[in-house]
A and B are shown apart, each in its own frame.
Chain A
Amino acid sequence: GENVEQHPSTLSVQEGDSAVIKCTYSDSASNYFPWYKQELGKGPQLIIDIRSNVGEKKDQRIAVTLNKTAKHFSLHITETQPEDSAVYFCAASMNNNDMRFGAGTRLTVKP
């Protein structure tokens, strides 16, 4: 089955700096890669996703890149703000049927 690894487990940045979180996956059949943000006491919420036919996708301050050959994808957050502080999860699946999540990255943005 799919195995997703995520790094780093914790990340602390200064407000305004960029944050990068990286994930690798094992199943070459996976074709859908979402990123979820989880705030304290809440369920994960989708923030951006990418399909395997696209190498990069951007939405305002967040972007995701995908390297299918190397089987890794990354989340980039620019101009970080304190409200970006949360736990971020990457995931991989084939057609969203059985998403497998990474272990999560706790991002702290210091004012």
Chain B
Amino acid sequence: DAGVIQSPRHEVTEMGQEVTLRCKPISGHNSLFWYRQTMMRGLELLIYFNNNVPIDDSGMPEDRFSAKMPNASFSTLKIQPSEPRDSAVYFCASSLLGSTEAFFGQGTRLTVV
């Protein structure tokens, strides 16, 4: 398996634009997590899904952030409108529900100018 695949690897966008980050979890995994990593706040859990259903989105910073998981093999994290303070590395991770190890993707480095 290729592991968790995130796209794009890098994204530079202007303030006010919509940004969509994509994630393909490991085949067969049924839990998916979105994290944001910054120097100031470290790794923050934004939202996680079990069996494509959002379980806890209390980490989503504002209404500008939304996440979807239309099927077991795809998830998106959308920011609309984007702001410079959204600049960070966004990680997607997946695991087997009830299992222990979460596998992380390579991350998407987002820069909002």
B71 located at the interface, meaning its Cβ lies under 8 Å from any Cβ of chain A in the complex:
no
The residues in B between 78 and 113 inclusive whose CB is less than 8 angstroms from any CB of A are 91, 93, 95, 98-107
Cross-chain contact B45 with A44 (CB below 8 angstroms): no
Cross-chain contact B42 with A104 (CB below 8 angstroms): yes
Chain A residues with CB below 8 A from B45, complex form: 98-101
Cross-chain contact A96 with B95 (CB below 8 angstroms): yes
Please tell me the number of chain B residues within 8 Å of chain A, measured between CB atoms: 26
B43 located at the interface, meaning its Cβ lies under 8 Å from any Cβ of chain A in the complex:
yes
How long is the Cα–Cα vector from A35 to B44 in the complex, in angstroms?
A: 15
Cross-chain contact B55 with A97 (CB below 8 angstroms): yes
A43's partner among B42, B48, B107 (CB-CB below 8 A) is B107
Cross-chain contact B102 with A46 (CB below 8 angstroms): yes
B18 located at the interface, meaning its Cβ lies under 8 Å from any Cβ of chain A in the complex:
no
B56 located at the interface, meaning its Cβ lies under 8 Å from any Cβ of chain A in the complex:
yes
Chain A residues with CB below 8 A from B105, complex form: 43
Cross-chain contact A101 with B56 (CB below 8 angstroms): no
Cross-chain contact A49 with B101 (CB below 8 angstroms): yes
Cross-chain contact A97 with B48 (CB below 8 angstroms): yes
Given contacts A34-B102, A43-B4, A45-B104, 16 further A-B contacts (CB under 8 A): A43-B91, A43-B106, A46-B101, A46-B102, A49-B100, A89-B42, A95-B98, A96-B101, A97-B56, A98-B48, A98-B55, A98-B56, A99-B33, A100-B45, A101-B44, A101-B45
Give me the interface of A with B, judged by CB distance under 8 Å.
1, 32, 34, 36, 41-46, 49, 89, 95-104
